[in-house]
Amino acid sequence: MAEKVKPGKGASQDKKEWWEEEFQGEWWKGVDWIKDHGAEPSGIMLFVDYMLDKAIITPDAVKIASLIPHRLILLEIVHPTKGAEQLSFMISPTSVNPGLPDAEPDLVLSFNYYDLARFLMDKEKDFTMPFWLGRARIYGNLTVLIDLADILEVAKGKKIDKAKENRPFIWPVGHP
Amino acid sequence: MSGPLQKGKLPKELTSEMESTAKASQYLRAAVRALRDFLPIEKKRRVWKTLEKIFEAEPIKQSDFQMYHRGGYAQSPQKTAYQKEGMEIALERNIPAYQQSLMEPMGQRDLRSVTISQTDIRVEPEALHYLNNFAMQQMYDDIKRTVILNLDIPHRTIQVRAGKEVTPESVNQYLRSVQHTIGGGSILLEQVADVDPVLTSDAYCKIITGNDEIKDFIDPRFIIDIDKMFHESKVKKLKEAIGDTIHLVIRAPTIAVRTADAGAAFKWGAMNSIIAFIGTYRLARDSVISDIAFATRQANVVLLGDRGWPSRAHAFNEYGGIPFGYLADICQGDSELPAKPFLQVALENEELARKYISKTLGCLSIVVPVLSEIWAGLYGSDNFSLTPGLVVASICADIQEDFLDIMTNLASKYFARITRTNIHVVPARWYNLRWVIETIVHEIMTTMEKYPTMMELLWSGIQRTFLLGSMAANMAALLTGSTTAGLWALRYTNALLVKEGWLRSAAGDEMVDHIGMPNSCSLRLEEGGLPELQGMNSPANIFGIAQAYGMAGLGYCAALARGDPWVCSPIVKVAFADPSLKFNFKNPLADIIAGAQKTYKPAGERALKKEA
């Protein structure tokens, strides 16, 4: 007689999400630009720490940001277990504020906390990849996402010329 | 007290509203100024160059100082020639005929010939009307006159019921016999009248098989050779799908379908293929004939189109009953390209990706609009001369080509990156696609608004919704490999985005059925069923001729995304790879241009035979 399978012990129960396999233990402790190593940083702190320690002090990132028209972006960073955080990010002039913006944003981005961490920690070079893969959501003007990706990717070492070359011909850097 | 309003004396609610309006206007003006900075990019666009040539002016020019001073129909050499011919006809028959003076006073519009996309050839819109362009008629005739019979069951019946041996020699003898009977030649009764072979010179039959041994013993003149007609990566898949079976592709004479209707092709093909069996296997006066007749003409037949409804086209093989998936399979532009997932191609080489698009959608965007013209013109509303507009929108002035450039560029620069993670299609979820569709559609709508000259060519809302819906549907299907996702995009664009941008008027109003998105996922028969198997006789599509190209395109693009060599039927795909067909389904544009230039020679002409 075949052995009965106990409910709740199926193979699907044991399957881990991709972020559980990639981000194990106290992963944040080895990252130099994260300031508070006491606990897993919030999504907002992760982004702010990176912007302050990396992007704003990278001359090329500042240079490409200066070519981009005024943009207001609402970033929704969704942690799989802790919930969502909102962050208002403005380009030209640059400002980062927690919470919802006081005007209608050009773009709303909603993406996984660990996708952001992956990108900021150089595990993924392409900021936009989660969006093409269908793991993240976009509402609004696509050129704004490309602008944001250009700034963040140039801060991580991408050349400005390469960033310009990678843009769609119809929307070069600075296109409204 | 009257006089100009003074800001200080107005209530605060109103002044704050005025200020916010002024701010919004300033923002808009700033955006327009910023767009002007990008004029050099606009000038590099394909559509700018072509429209500039056609209108001999800057395509974004807003003013027209010639309006009402153009001379009406006399601007058009073709209309002028028609007027002269109309007068001659009237004098000859003593009944008034074509007469431009009956028109409303004209002259405000700029009547110009248009350039065929990717060429310098200019034609007048009249040359793209299906009754003026014989190549268009031949295209439809070639579809209508095709019937595919499976020969395995009749061969088995001949062996078992008639006790005859089927050998390679007898199969070849049968194929020789059927070439004689299909053109109207008699086999059994010598006193019956034969048809003049000159009139039916386009009638013939060929074999399709996936088995190389069968192919080897059949006379190569009677084979549609899959090995020669398709890229090697497609050959294996097609042969596996078709298998060891033998299909007989019958091309009834064009003159038969033009004299009767497409249903005649089935009767003609079935009867003449049975007679060839009777002649080859000497079956006369034998009761087994009825079994062989059934096995040949009923047991396993592939008709291109199902019956339509009686008030329109009631026969088989008419456009209304042809599934959209078959329409995509009829197109052969992509036959020689490797069967590879599109995003993988796009990552490797953007130019090659553009070639894939040109060869697939480039082919389909001729076949479907032409058939839609005929459908709307003859079956739907009779001589509805608006419909050449669809062909103008799809193959003229590089308009669609320009939008396809943008679509391919986006797919190559961004979406193709996912193939690095061993994923070849974007997951078919609505939130993955909504913003892509919105981006593409907004870009096209913005372009149309920026270029008044483009709107001169796309003067009907049906042309604009035709382009918008199809581009959205094709993009969604191309990314996901899912026809249902393509259908979401088509419905979302036509039912919501077009109306959101332009309200119901101008474009939205001309979509007869504003089909909502939930309908896209429905498999209930009255709502359509599987997208590939829907046709113009599906209730929601009857009058939606602007949707037909999108509906067929989404199937084609989904197959392209998955790297599949066919959309709906490998048999139909191979049947139309036949180089002996009168119309060129591999490069339909060449034949359509020949038709427009009056150099195309169609089949089925009654005046072909010169009497001695």
CATH code: domain of residue B331: 1.20.840.10
* Burial of B610 (C-beta count, 10 Å sphere; 0-12/13-18/19+): exposed
Q: Could you tell me which chain B residue has the CA closest to the CA of A134?
A: B432
In the beta sheet, which residues pair with residue B248?
B149, B207
For residue B124, being part of any structural domain is answered with no
pLDDT tens figures, B211-245: 999 999 999 999 999 999 999 999 999 999 999 99
pLDDT the model gives residue B338? 95
Residues B234 and B356 reside in one and the same domain: no
Q: Which residues of chain B have pLDDT under 50?
A: 1-7, 612
Q: How far apart are CA B598 and CA B134, in angstroms?
A: 8
Residues B535 and B459 reside in one and the same domain: yes
For residue B178, being part of any structural domain is answered with yes
For residue B233, being part of any structural domain is answered with yes
Task: Record the tokens describing residue B597, joined without a space.
Answer: 């230039």
Q: How far apart are CA B604 and CA B257, in angstroms?
A: 9
Residue A162 predicted with pLDDT over 50:
yes
Cis peptide, bond prior to residue B220, ω within 30 of zero: no
Q: Which helix (H) or strand (E) holds B148?
A: strand B146-150
Task: Record the tokens describing residue B561, joined without a space.
Answer: 């995304």
Q: Could you tell me which chain A residue has the CA closest to the CA of B27?
A: A70
Residues B373 and B475 reside in one and the same domain: yes
Return phi, psi of residue B70, to 5°: -105, -15
Which ipTM value was assigned to this complex? 0.86
Going by C-beta distance under 8 Å and a sequence separation of 6 or more, which residues neighbour residue B176? B219
DSSP string, B173-226: HHHHHHHHHHTT--SS-TTSPPPPTTTTTT-EEEEEES-HHHHHHS-GGGB--H
Q: What is the dihedral of CA B100, B102, B104, B105, to 10 degrees?
A: 60
Contacts of B405 in chain A (CB under 8 A): 169
The residues spanned by each domain of chain A are 40-166
pLDDT the model gives residue A2? 45
Residues B417 and B278 reside in one and the same domain: no
Q: Could you tell me which chain A residue has the CA closest to the CA of B438?
A: A140
- How do strand A71-79 and strand A107-112 relate by DSSP bridges? parallel
pLDDT the model gives residue B4? 46
Domain holding B247: CATH number?
Answer: 3.30.70.470
Number of H helices, E strands in chain B: 26, 6
Residues B407 and B293 reside in one and the same domain: no
Residues B440 and B472 reside in one and the same domain: yes
CB atoms under 10 Å from CB of A12, counted, come to 5
pLDDT the model gives residue B556? 96
Architecture of the domain spanning A40-166: 2-Layer Sandwich (3.30)
Q: How far is B421 from chain A (nearest CA, A)?
A: 9
Q: How far is B35 from chain A (nearest CA, A)?
A: 7
The DSSP code for B544 is: -
Residues B172 and B266 reside in one and the same domain: yes
Residue A86 predicted with pLDDT over 90:
yes
Q: How far apart are CA B212 and CA B236, in angstroms?
A: 11
CB B372 within 8 A of CB B390: yes
pLDDT the model gives residue A1? 41
Considering CB atoms only, which of B406, B418, B426 is closest to A170?
A: B406
Q: Could you tell me which chain B residue has the CA closest to the CA of A131?
A: B432
Mark yes or no for CB contact B409/A132 under 8 Å.
no
Region A106-110 average pLDDT: 94
Q: Which helix (H) or strand (E) holds B551?
A: helix B545-562
From B182, B150, B146, B148, select the one nearest B317 (Cα to Cα).
Answer: B146
Task: Record the tokens describing residue B481, joined without a space.
Answer: 């490999």
Q: Could you tell me which chain A residue has the CA closest to the CA of B402?
A: A170
Residues B381 and B466 reside in one and the same domain: yes
Q: What is the dihedral of CA B297, B301, B302, B305, to 10 degrees?
A: 60
Contacts of A168 in chain B (CB under 8 A): 406, 409-410, 413-414
3-state SS of chain A is CCCCCCCCCCHHHHCCCHHHHHCCCCHHHHCCCCCCCCCCCCHHHHHHHHHHHHHCCCHHHHHHHHHCCCEEEEEEEEECCCEEEEEEEEECCCEEEECCCCCCCCEEEEEEHHHHHHHHCCCCCCCCHHHHHCCCEEEECHHHHHHHHHHHHHHCCCCHHHHHHHCCCCCCCCCC
Mark yes or no for CB contact A169/B427 under 8 Å.
no
Considering CB atoms only, which of B413, B415, B429 is closest to A166?
A: B413
pLDDT the model gives residue B521? 81
- How do strand A137-140 and strand A83-91 relate by DSSP bridges? unpaired
pLDDT the model gives residue A13? 58
DSSP string, B53-110: HHHTS-TT----TTTT-S-GGGG-HHHHHHHHHHHHHHHHHTS----GGGSPP--SS-
Task: Please report how the helices B461-480 and B388-395 are oriented relative to each other, as an axis angle in degrees rounded to 10.
Answer: 50
Chain A contact present for B423, CB below 8 A: yes
Name the residue type at position B19.
Answer: E
pLDDT the model gives residue B27? 61
Q: How far apart are CA B477 and CA B482, in angstroms?
A: 5
Residues B344 and B238 reside in one and the same domain: no
From B356, B304, B395, select the one nearest B588 (Cα to Cα).
Answer: B395
Q: Could you tell me which chain B residue has the CA closest to the CA of A136?
A: B432
Q: How far apart are CA B136 and CA B589, in angstroms?
A: 10
* Domain extent for B497: 322-569+588-596
HSE-up of residue B66 (Cα within 13 Å, Cβ side): 11
Q: How far apart are CA B146 and CA B295, in angstroms?
A: 19
From B136, B556, B506, select the one nearest B359 (Cα to Cα).
Answer: B556
Give the number of domains in chain B: 2
Chain A contact present for B287, CB below 8 A: no
For residue B575, being part of any structural domain is answered with no
pLDDT the model gives residue B105? 63
CB B117 within 8 A of CB B395: yes
Chain B contact present for A92, CB below 8 A: no
Residues B173 and B239 reside in one and the same domain: yes
For residue B31, being part of any structural domain is answered with no
* CB interface of B with A, residues 309-328, below 8 Å: none
Chain A contact present for B43, CB below 8 A: no
Q: How many Cβ pairs within 8 Å bridge chains A and B?
A: 54
In the beta sheet, which residues pair with residue A137?
A110
Q: How far is A172 from chain B (nearest CA, A)?
A: 9
Chain B contact present for A18, CB below 8 A: no
Chain A contact present for B29, CB below 8 A: no
Mark yes or no for CB contact B417/A129 under 8 Å.
yes
For residue B140, being part of any structural domain is answered with no
Residues B266 and B362 reside in one and the same domain: no
Chain A contact present for B46, CB below 8 A: no
- CA–CA distance from B294 to each of A30, B135, B150, B286, B300 (Å)? 78, 35, 12, 14, 9
Residues B260 and B350 reside in one and the same domain: no
